[in-house]
Each structure stands twice: as C-alpha cells, then as structure tokens.
Amino acid sequence: MAAARQLGHDHRVTETSVILALVVITALAFDFTNGFHDTANAMATSIATKALRPKTAVALSGVLNLVGAFLSVEVALTVTNAVVKIQDKSGAPKAELLADGGSALLLIILAGLVGGIVWNLLTWLLGLPSSSSHALFGGLVGATLAGLGVAGVNWNGDGSKLDGVVGKVLLPAVISPVIAGAVAAVGTWVIFKITTGVAARFTEQGFRWGQIGSASLVSLAHGTNDAQKTMGVITLALIASGHWGDTENIPLWVKVSAAVAIALGTYLGGWRIIRTLGKGITDINPPQGTAAQSGAAAVILASSHLGFALSTTHVATGSVIGSGLGRPGAKVRWAVAGRMVLAWLITLPAAGLVGAAMWYIGDTVGGTAGALVVFTLLVLASGAMYLKSRTGKVDHENVNDDWDGAAPAAAGSSTPVPAAAH
C-alpha cells in the first residue's frame, strides 16, 4: 500500500520535473531572445556611425550584459507581481496554485513565456524594436487570464504605489520615450551649437569615444535589469515545484545560466532591429549618437533609482527619434517610427493572445503531455520564423546599407526591413 503510494508520488514528481525542465529551458530561451532583441538599444547608433565595427559592438555589448547580469544580486523574485497575482509579496507562489506539484503555476509561466518568445521573434522578423519586458508581461497576463480569470491579473495596483498593468506597463510606455526623446533632442541641439566649426579631427575622435562610453553604460544597465526578470521567473518555478525554498536568494546555476543566455543572445545580435534603429528612423552621426545613448543611459538609471519601471527599448527608440529632431537639418522617417509605435501598442495584447492560447492548449491536453505540446508548438513557430528570416537576410555585413536605396527583400515588399540581397 505504502509502496504503491510511494510509487504514485514518484510518478507525479517525475511528471512535474519534466514540466519544470520545459519551463527552465523556455525561460532561458526567452532570455536569449531578450538579449538579441535588445542589442540594438545599446549598439545600433554606434554601429550606424561606424564608431564600432558591427562584430566588435555586439561582442562588447554581450560581455557588458554578462557582467551586468552578475551585478544584479538584488532579488528579483517578485517580478511577476507587477502584472499578475500568482505570487505573494515575499515572492512565494500562491498556495492554491501549488496542488499537484505546482503544475497549475508552471503551466501559466510556460504559456506566458511562449507568448513572450513568439512575439519577440515575430517583431524581430519584421525588424521592429518592441519591448521584451512588455512581451513577457503580455504573455503572463494572457496566460493568467486564461488560467485564473480576470481577477488573477493585477490591473491597477492597490493604490499605494505605481503598480499593475496600468502603472508598470502602460503609463511608462507612453511617458518614457517622450522623456528620453526630449533629453536626447536637447542634448543633440546644444552639442551641434557648441561644435559647429570645430575641426573634424577633434569631433570625430571625441564623439567616437563618447558614443562607445555611453553605449557601454546602456549595455551594462540592460544586463542588470533584464537578466533579473528571467532569474526571477525560473526561481519562482523552482519554488512552485518544491525544488527551492529560499525566497531571499536565487540559485547560483540560475544566475549563471540566465546571464550566459542573455549575453549569448546579445552577441548574436538582432541585426534586423539594429538596422531599423540605427539606419531606419533617422541618419545618425557621432554627436547625435553620443547624445542619444547618454540620454538613454541617464533615463534608464534615473528611472530604476526612482522605481519607475520602463522598457529599455522604448527609451532607446525615443532618444534616437529625439536626436533626429534635435539636429538641425536631420529628418525623422515618421513612417518607420509610426510602424514601431503600432508594434508597441499591440505587444501586450498580442503576446497575451499567444499566452492565453498556449494555456488553453496545454490545459486541454493536460499534464506533462500538455506542456510538451506547448513546447513543441514553440519550437515549430520559432523554426518557421527562423527559416523565413533566411530570405532577405540582414547580418553584420549589410546592416549599414542605405535605408532608402536598398532593394526590397526577397520576402516581399511588405517587410519593413529593406535589405540588399547578398
């Protein structure tokens, strides 16, 4: 009798272990897409102005992301609390989700992560710099809506601080690009006033270093902010399935693997997005790049100091647009910027839809099989988008081609990344 129960228990533990393993792999995959999706935020301007060679830029950014991820020893275990109610304030998972080895919670996390990854890959394919944090939050919100209903989502916080979907996602998304844009526009405008008439041998070299320095700061801040989110999600899954019990610390292997995943992703470089941000929005020169990255770095750091959640992507994009507005005679391609803003608007609901659909599929099939089906769907979708990206390839060799003069990609004129065929 006891032996039978023991056997039954072991069987269940093994089942949850499979789901847990899928969650960990998927979380690291999300972290990887987070890395390559966001390389552009730090490095697009330096690549566009040739302050750094493309490969050097992504390598530098990757290393700084790795270092940044390890600097973030602050526990980010409550990361999901911003938008959904699956944890309590200490970071421990809600007790009602822990039946059956925590598989209810694991499925929500898995479905949410898949939503985030699919949206990240799709926007990368289209060359659109959308926010990875919004994709993750959107996926989680969608999966939670499907799994727990409307009450499971933290829409508006409890009124004591900036919180919830509105406070942590929607408002910062509207406000932060405007702030970053204003800062970069002011910086660019004054810099051009100051350096007019100064010999190029001084400005070229000087602003080259200004750009490298400010871009490095953005990379480091990115590693600290974004790698934490994945670490928090993985640790939550470990706690829910009973493999970790400490809400004060994150297991070392989680920290190392998340740091390596985001760094590798950054090094891979999302060339399509780098191209849009560096060449598509406006034509950037070194003083503008310096102003844009300094503005981005300052706004990101000031915000995290003040607990004002924002997306690195929105800030970087806002500051690039601002640097285009601030330079006398520069033009901003508003069609490109508009398409980007549209992508920002639909990031949350789109990732949410995928997250919700994945939850329903996983729940309908049920158990380990359900999780495996969801994971397989993710692999298929990723594979399809990767294959699609091979036509009209953008890489470190053609990332800087002229935006307007380039031949339309073989994939069709609907793609917003005009890349010359190589």
Partner 1 sequence: MHNLGFALDGAWQVLLAGLALGAGLPILFALGIRSLAWGAGSVAVDETGVTAGARRPAGTALGYTLFAVVIIGVLLGLTFIVASGFGYKLDFSNVVPTLVAK
- What are the residues binding partner 1 (CB under 8 A)? 68, 71-74, 156-157, 159, 161-164, 166-167, 171-172, 175-176, 179-180, 182-184, 186-187, 190-191, 194-195, 197-199, 202-203, 206-207, 210, 213-214, 217, 220-221, 224, 287, 290-291, 294-299, 301-308, 319
State which residue, 101 or 286, has the beta carbon closest to partner 1: 286
Rounded to a whole number of angstroms, the minimum distance from the CB of residue 286 to partner 1 is 11
- Tokens 């003040």 locate to 306
Q: Are 47 and 400 in contact (CB under 8 A)?
A: yes
- Tokens 């099939």 locate to 365
Rounded to a whole number of angstroms, the minimum distance from the CB of residue 199 to partner 1 is 4
Rounded to a whole number of angstroms, the minimum distance from the CB of residue 291 to partner 1 is 5
In whole angstroms, what is the distance from residue 174 CA to residue 187 CA? Answer: 21
State which residue, 164 or 355, has the beta carbon closest to partner 1: 164
State which residue, 191 or 351, has the beta carbon closest to partner 1: 191
State which residue, 143 or 299, has the beta carbon closest to partner 1: 299
Residues 6+ apart with CB under 8 A from 354: 114, 115, 118, 119, 139, 142
Residues 6+ apart with CB under 8 A from 250: 75, 76, 77, 231, 232, 235
Largest pairwise CA distance in the chain: 90
> Residue 375: how many CA atoms within 13 Å on its side-chain side?
21
Locate 202 and state its tokens: 């001084």
Rounded to a whole number of angstroms, the minimum distance from the CB of residue 220 to partner 1 is 6
Residues 6+ apart with CB under 8 A from 387: none
Rounded to a whole number of angstroms, the minimum distance from the CB of residue 206 to partner 1 is 4
Rounded to a whole number of angstroms, the minimum distance from the CB of residue 72 to partner 1 is 5
In whole angstroms, what is the distance from residue 372 CA to residue 252 CA? Answer: 27
Rounded to a whole number of angstroms, the minimum distance from the CB of residue 315 to partner 1 is 9
State which residue, 297 or 358, has the beta carbon closest to partner 1: 297
392 torsion bin: left (phi>0), alpha (psi -120 to 50), beta (else): left
State which residue, 296 or 374, has the beta carbon closest to partner 1: 296
Residues paired with residue 153 on neighbouring β-strands, in sequence order: 84
Under DSSP, the state recorded for 87 is B
In whole angstroms, what is the distance from residue 343 CA to residue 339 CA? Answer: 6
State which residue, 171 or 341, has the beta carbon closest to partner 1: 171
Rounded to a whole number of angstroms, the minimum distance from the CB of residue 200 to partner 1 is 9
State which residue, 159 or 412, has the beta carbon closest to partner 1: 159
Residue 410 DSSP SS3: coil
Q: Are 355 and 111 in contact (CB under 8 A)?
A: yes
